[in-house]
């Protein structure tokens, strides 16, 4: 073979392997690989959008939509627990369904799909998100709003009044009874839980494809000097997703679960159920649009192909082999990655951080509702709009600093460790930010549940329907207060009388003191809530600043041929050791501090009241311990990253391309 033939071999070889194509066929395949569009949605007009900047923006938009769906689920999870009587431990298991499927598919799909048309694989992944949204929202159309929610509407009350005997039966269920009452029947209690878990399983496949392939595509089709800026911009756009998702949840939860009916309770009432299903219809439409957008992108950006051709012309060490896809090669890749100490320690540090902080990603709205007595809409809005806004700022600031000052790998690893220790300090502040009114409310509720007087009233299966005694003590229900009658006062409020099991009833025999008002006693925890929110915003700002540094270390510490597979393997490990066990563990931990369960005939149901003080200590101290260990692992990353290059891109090729473009334009 002559010298000219040797130079042409690397260019022609890939096409010969695809079926002995002629040079003309090779040019056509190369053109197809760099052309925008698919099926009938193609044309020269779309080609102008095949740029690095446009990919970063649209990839960020698609990521924004994806994170919106998961944030919306987290924002509505307490409502789902109440509606379908789901314990927190079970809701934790449901929420990790996507991580289970990510764990099972990310590495394998990343290995094989990474060598295919990656944007189209990402589009397929987003179609699974569409299915996830539709399946989750369809539960409402299958089961409806539920009888418990309908009972609390004016329309339902009007129907009940038409039937006197029915009304009496409903009243008796909440009052002290001399004989044991039947348990509350629940129909198909496991079916919604299985349905929700299955929907999460489907979404995990799309999540694994999107993140594993999307980041690798960005890094392969852009210059390394621009990667930090592109990562920070796409991450910033994705960070808008949780903010919008939580805001959408807050808007939907402000509406009653059956918007056409008028509720008789306020949004602050623990029994309030918002229209959780409404947002899923909106999110499914946005996910479909995002999938179509990613389908449009070419297999390789034109600018990336020009750099690749230029490198082949200037580098004597051209690529002469096509990577063989096989199980044996996959095992060799795993062995190489296992020997990479920077990759291993960085992945372990991320996993421990995720394990500890996952409790706040999923259960922060629930934490705010129980600790500071805020409505579901307020808790969701604070978690999403306010706190995640600071996260977005942190991502942008870190991207600017990295692009401008180009810190070393060791500087990035040391900052990751500092962020971990600052996060631990902030979480310890959470322990101190309690609300005395909320703590005392729950301890008094425990006393009312274990009251020997109310034990004779047979209140085990009475729904949670709090009443407030004159001495500002909340009882779980009128039955637990020993009330025997129900009436309306001059202001139209529901009052319960003859309440023999209240504290005042034991001291005074005056019937005028033996009454209770419908609803829980007011508790003011707003100032403590604002302090908690301030600390949380600071932690979001600091924590988000380490996202880009952590990802850059992960991208630069692995060889090019293992990049997509390493990201998939890291995602699988994070799911197996962090994302999956963490919500289950913290859900179990939260359930351990439940005081009042909504009992049914066959199920313990959801929790209505918690021991807030004990829960605050246990949850925060446990989470802080995991993140504290992650900080020391980042110190190990710092030690082993001394020779790691983050910005080693030779920009001469980029300048030659720009010069070539300028000359061609001058000739025209």
Cα–Cα distance, 125 to 667 (Å, whole number): 44
Cα–Cα distance, 425 to 418 (Å, whole number): 11
Cα–Cα distance, 205 to 101 (Å, whole number): 6
Provide the residue range defining the domain that includes 481: 438-518
Query: 321 in a domain, yes or no?
Result: no
SS3 string, 500-535, reads: CCCHHHHHCCCHHHCEEEECCCCCCCHHHHHHHHHH
Whether 506 and 607 map to the same domain: the answer is no
Query: 166 in a domain, yes or no?
Result: no
Query: 591 in a domain, yes or no?
Result: yes
Total domain count, the chain: 3
Query: Tokens representing 277?
Result: 């299903």
Mutual angle of helices 612-640 and 581-591, in 10-degree steps: 160
Mutual angle of helices 652-667 and 302-314, in 10-degree steps: 110
Q: 493: which DSSP letter?
A: -
Whether 345 and 235 map to the same domain: the answer is yes
Whether 351 and 444 map to the same domain: the answer is no
Cα–Cα distance, 301 to 197 (Å, whole number): 38
Its pTM stands at 0.70
Query: Tokens representing 14?
Result: 């890939």
Cα–Cα distance, 10 to 16 (Å, whole number): 10
pLDDT of residue 41: 65
Query: 262 in a domain, yes or no?
Result: yes
Q: 180: which DSSP letter?
A: P
Whether 373 and 299 map to the same domain: the answer is yes
Q: Among 494, 518, 542, where does a domain finish? A: 518
Whether 431 and 442 map to the same domain: the answer is no
* Residue 365 vs residues 71, 246, 250, 277, 372: alpha-carbon distances, Å: 11, 10, 10, 17, 10
Whether 264 and 218 map to the same domain: the answer is yes
For the stretch 438-479, pLDDT in tens is 776 655 555 555 566 777 777 777 777 888 888 777 888 888
Cα–Cα distance, 90 to 636 (Å, whole number): 36
Q: 490: which DSSP letter?
A: T
Helix (H) and strand (E) counts in the chain:
29, 9
pLDDT of residue 225: 65
What residue ranges of the chain have pLDDT lower than 70?
1-43, 45, 48, 106-107, 110-111, 113-115, 157-173, 178-189, 222-228, 303-326, 440-452, 503-513, 599-603, 648-668
Q: Among 496, 518, 540, where does a domain finish? A: 518
Cα–Cα distance, 609 to 448 (Å, whole number): 12
Query: 172 in a domain, yes or no?
Result: no
Q: What is the CATH number of the domain that holds 404?
A: 1.20.1250.20
* Alpha-carbon dihedral sign for residues 216, 218, 224, 226: negative
Query: 169 in a domain, yes or no?
Result: no
Whether 342 and 229 map to the same domain: the answer is yes
Whether 477 and 359 map to the same domain: the answer is no
Query: 408 in a domain, yes or no?
Result: yes
Whether 220 and 120 map to the same domain: the answer is yes
pLDDT of residue 489: 75
Query: 487 in a domain, yes or no?
Result: yes
Whether 463 and 391 map to the same domain: the answer is no
* Residue 181 vs residues 177, 363, 449, 596: alpha-carbon distances, Å: 8, 35, 17, 18
Residue 124, SS3 per DSSP: helix
Q: Which residue matches tokens 């705010």?
A: 368
Whether 505 and 578 map to the same domain: the answer is no
585's torsion region: left (phi>0), alpha (psi -120 to 50) or beta? Answer: alpha
Q: 481: which DSSP letter?
A: T
Whether 380 and 463 map to the same domain: the answer is no
* Residue 309 vs residues 256, 379, 578, 598: alpha-carbon distances, Å: 60, 54, 41, 67
* Alpha-carbon dihedral sign for residues 369, 373, 376, 377: negative
pLDDT of residue 431: 93
DSSP line for 29-89 = HHHHHT--EETTEE-HHHHTT-SHHHHHHHHHHHHHHHHHHHHHHHHTHHHHHHHHT--HH
């Amino acid at each position: 073979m002559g010298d000219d033939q040797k130079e042409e071999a690397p260019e022609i070889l890939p096409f010969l392997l695809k079926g002995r194509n002629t040079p003309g066929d090779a040019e056509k395949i190369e053109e197809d690989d760099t052309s925008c569009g698919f099926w009938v949605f193609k044309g020269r007009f779309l080609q102008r959008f095949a740029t690095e900047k446009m990919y970063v923006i649209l990839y960020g938009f698609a990521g924004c939509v994806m994170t919106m769906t998961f944030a919306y689920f987290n924002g509505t999870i307490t409502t789902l627990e109440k509606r379908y009587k789901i314990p927190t431990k079970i809701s934790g298991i449901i929420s990790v369904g996507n991580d289970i499927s990510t764990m099972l598919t990310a590495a394998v799909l990343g290995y094989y799909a990474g060598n295919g048309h990656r944007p189209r694989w990402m589009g397929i992944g987003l179609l699974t998100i569409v299915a996830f949204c539709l399946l989750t929202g369809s539960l409402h159309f299958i089961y409806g709003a539920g009888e418990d929610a309908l009972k609390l509407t004016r329309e339902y009350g009007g129907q009940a009044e038409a039937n006197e005997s029915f009304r009496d039966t409903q009243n008796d269920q909440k009052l002290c009874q001399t004989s044991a009452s039947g348990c509350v029947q629940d129909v198909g209690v496991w079916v919604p839980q299985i349905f929700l878990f299955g929907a999460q399983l489907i979404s995990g496949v799309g999540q694994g494809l999107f993140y594993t392939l999307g980041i690798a595509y960005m890094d392969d089709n852009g210059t390394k000097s621009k990667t930090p800026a592109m990562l920070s911009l796409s991450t910033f756009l994705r960070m808008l997703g949780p903010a919008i998702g939580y805001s959408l949840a807050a808007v939907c939860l402000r509406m009653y679960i059956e918007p056409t009916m008028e509720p008789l309770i306020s949004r602050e009432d623990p029994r309030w159920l918002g229209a959780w299903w409404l947002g899923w219809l909106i999110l499914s439409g946005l996910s479909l649009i995002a999938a179509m957008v990613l389908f449009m992108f070419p297999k390789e950006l034109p600018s990336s192909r020009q750099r690749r051709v230029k490198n082949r012309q200037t580098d004597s060490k051209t690529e002469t082999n096509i990577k063989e896809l096989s199980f044996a090669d996959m095992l060799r890749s795993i062995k190489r990655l296992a020997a990479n100490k920077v990759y291993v320690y960085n992945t372990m540090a991320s996993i421990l951080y995720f394990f500890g902080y996952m409790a706040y990603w999923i259960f922060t709205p629930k934490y705010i509702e129980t600790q500071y007595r805020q409505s579901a809409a307020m808790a969701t809005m604070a978690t999403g709009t306010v706190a995640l806004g600071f996260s977005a700022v942190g991502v942008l600031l870190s991207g600017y600093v990295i692009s401008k000052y180009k810190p070393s790998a060791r500087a990035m690893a040391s900052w990751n460790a500092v962020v971990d220790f600052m996060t631990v300090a902030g979480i310890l502040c959470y322990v101190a930010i309690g609300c005395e009114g909320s703590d005392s409310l729950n301890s008094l509720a425990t006393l009312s549940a274990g009251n020997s007087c109310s034990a004779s009233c047979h209140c085990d299966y009475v729904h949670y329907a709090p009443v407030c005694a004159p001495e500002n003590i909340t009882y779980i229900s009128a039955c637990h207060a020993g009330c025997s009658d129900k009436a309306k006062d001059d202001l139209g409020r529901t009052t319960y009388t003859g309440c023999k099991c209240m504290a005042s009833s034991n001291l005074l025999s005056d019937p005028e003191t033996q009454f209770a008002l419908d609803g829980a006693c007011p508790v003011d925890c707003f100032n403590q809530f604002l302090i908690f929110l301030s600390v949380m915003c600071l932690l979001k700002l600091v924590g988000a600043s380490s996202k880009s540094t952590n990802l850059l270390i992960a991208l630069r510490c692995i060889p090019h041929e293992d990049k997509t597979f390493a990201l998939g393997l890291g995602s699988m490990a994070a799911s197996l050791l962090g994302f999956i066990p963490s919500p289950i563990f913290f859900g179990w931990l939260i359930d351990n501090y439940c005081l009042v369960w909504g009992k049914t005939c066959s199920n313990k149901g959801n929790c209505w009241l918690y021991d807030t003080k004990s829960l605050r200590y246990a949850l925060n101290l446990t989470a802080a311990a995991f993140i504290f260990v992650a900080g020391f692992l980042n110190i190990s990353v710092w030690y082993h990253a001394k020779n790691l290059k983050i910005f080693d891109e030779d920009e001469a090729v980029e300048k030659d391309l720009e010069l070539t473009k300028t000359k061609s334009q001058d000739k025209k």
